[in-house]
Amino acid sequence: VQNDLFDVGADFATPVVADPEHPPLRVEQDYVDRLEAWCDAYNEDLEPLRSFVLSGGSPGAALLHVARTVVRRAERSAWAAFAAHEDTMNVLAITYLNRLSDLLFILARHANKEQGDVLWIPGGQRD
């Protein structure tokens, strides 16, 4: 994932042009497919969600939730940049960030598997 994130950064730093002098490094569909396969594999071991999950739980899960939050923030910034520069950005690089945040959420749930997720309790049901 760390190597992929360097590729994402290189992709964002190099505008898409019709005929580049040197072929740029681009995030391609296989990057996204790899994350989706990991999501599917780790999600198989988890119980279906019946409530929203709050960030927290085990220390590892809490760190994964923080990482997910950082990736979501980067994704929102990338979508804002895409809105202004749609014809010069590779949408797959942004899609990669979206799937990475999905994977981090699933991994956080996996890290909490033994003790259970911290579930949201709606206001009227809290003590």
Do the domain assignments include residue 73?
Answer: yes
Amino acid at 24: P
- Max CA pair span of the chain: 64
Do the domain assignments include residue 70?
Answer: yes
Number of domains present in the structure of the chain: 1
Do the domain assignments include residue 63?
Answer: yes
**Whole-prediction pTM:** 0.91
Dig out the tokens for 71 from the structure.
């990736």
pLDDT digits (tens, 9 = 90+) for 29-40: 999 999 999 999
Rg (C-alpha) for the chain, rounded Å, is 17
Taking residues 89-104, report their average pLDDT: 98
Rounded CA-CA distance 93/81 in Å is: 12
Which residue range is the domain that position 71 belongs to?
2-14+28-40+52-119
Find the CATH number of the domain harbouring 105.
1.20.1200.10
pLDDT digits (tens, 9 = 90+) for 50-87: 889 989 899 999 999 999 999 999 999 999 999 999 99
CB 75 within 8 A of CB 35: no
Do the domain assignments include residue 23?
Answer: no
